[in-house]
A and B are shown apart, each in its own frame.
Chain A
């Protein structure tokens, strides 16, 4: 057994143990923290599997933004914790849920173990056709060209999620600013970090997006970093969330999927098919869509975390 295999077995064992601990943990806050660490360790597993693109996404969403969302939810639920503990499901329900989950896990595991060796894969085809778009990162090629339909619909789903969150607003707050107004000491450490980090974070976010054409990275990972910087500034109280009725904000939100759809429809007329790029313009068109997309993703993720509109625009 090589050292790397030993390390992988250790990592898998820790992830499994942490997963079980997160489920068993009584305290909502502790469970949320456990889930964040779980997300970061799963990202390490993706790195070991050479899926760096997935690892970046997992770290940004599972460990980062998802973690903030869960911690916020845990803070809101703190007042109801005692009541929820009193209404805990009985032993029978718990055992039933555990048995059902174990059955699903066994079914998935046996399906994976029965895959033919080597497993069926389209990876060689994706790598062989990379020249069609002029991008060197096969993941970006699959996302933006070979399976562009899935990616476009995914962005529409993000848009629907935002509409869902906004629809939780009360009548009075409709069109207002999402989330509470954060205040912190303007000379404090959080405000200091929120002034120091965003210039660096914005450069890193744009770099991760830009390098996605040829190396691991891309619009989603870059957008998540940009969203994190935006949220940091909001949480430090240096800026307020924009009112959701803001025209410019809504334009940014529909910009990514809108441009994607437009280019896709253009493909019927100028290119081979719907979402088929004319070969000579493939790379500039994909990059153009991704620029609009990175802004849309940053705004969408930031607003998803900011929550439903709570305050009317009038002070």
Chain B
């Protein structure tokens, strides 16, 4: 049982790390603000979500698990809001065509 849980942790956290890596590569390589934001928010949402999912089996108690989940939810909320705000500012700064 504990082997299965550990395996799940390793797989999920590795997948999360991959999303962070992909998001960072996107942030560095994509051509404009909006696509860069797109790459970054994927890393935040999915990467953090997978890392939290992977850590859940290692949480000592239900309470700790709920804390981990709420960290992910707050991260989602903050990431989505900030992406929207940055995108809006970027659009206003853009010269009108």
Count residues of chain A with CB under 8 A from any CB of chain B.
7
Chain A residue at minimal CB-CB distance from B87: A189
Shortest Cβ gap from B14 to chain A (Å): 15
Flag if B74 contacts A200 (CB, 8 Å): yes
A residues less than 8 Å from B5 (CB atoms):
none
Asked if residues B84 and A189 are in contact (CB atoms below 8 Å), the reply is yes
Q: Does B77 contact A (CB under 8 A)?
A: yes
A189 with B74: CB separation less than 8 A: no
> Chain B contact residues: over half helix, strand or loop, or mixed?
helix
List which A139-178 residues lie within 8 A (CB) of chain B. none
Question: Chain A residues in contact with chain B, CB under 8 A?
Answer: 189-190, 192-193, 196-197, 200
The reply on B28 being an interface residue by CB < 8 A is no
**Residues of B contacting A193 in the complex (Cβ-Cβ under 8 angstroms):** 77, 81
Whose C-beta in chain B lies nearest to the C-beta of A185?
A: B88
Q: How many residues of B contact A (CB 8 A)?
A: 6
Q: In the bound complex, what is the Cα–Cα distance between A189 and B81 (angstroms)?
A: 6
Which B67-91 residues have C-beta < 8 A from chain A? 74, 77, 81, 84-85, 88
Q: Which residues of B contact A200 (CB under 8 A)?
A: 74
Interface mask (B48-80 → A, CB under 8 Å = 1, otherwise 0): 000000000000000000000000001001000
Contact present for A197 and B77 (CB under 8 Å):
yes
Q: Is the CB of A196 within 8 A of B84?
A: no
Instruction: Give complex CA distance A52, B44 in Å.
Output: 24
Contacts of B88 in A (CB 8 A): 189
Complex Cα–Cα for A193 and B83 (A)? 13
Q: How far is the CA of A193 from the CA of B77 in the complex (A)?
A: 8
Minimum CB–CB distance from B52 to chain A (whole Å) comes to: 17
Across-interface contacts of A197 in B (CB, < 8 A) = 77
Contacts of A192 in B (CB 8 A): 81
Nearest CB in chain A: distance from B32 CB, A: 19
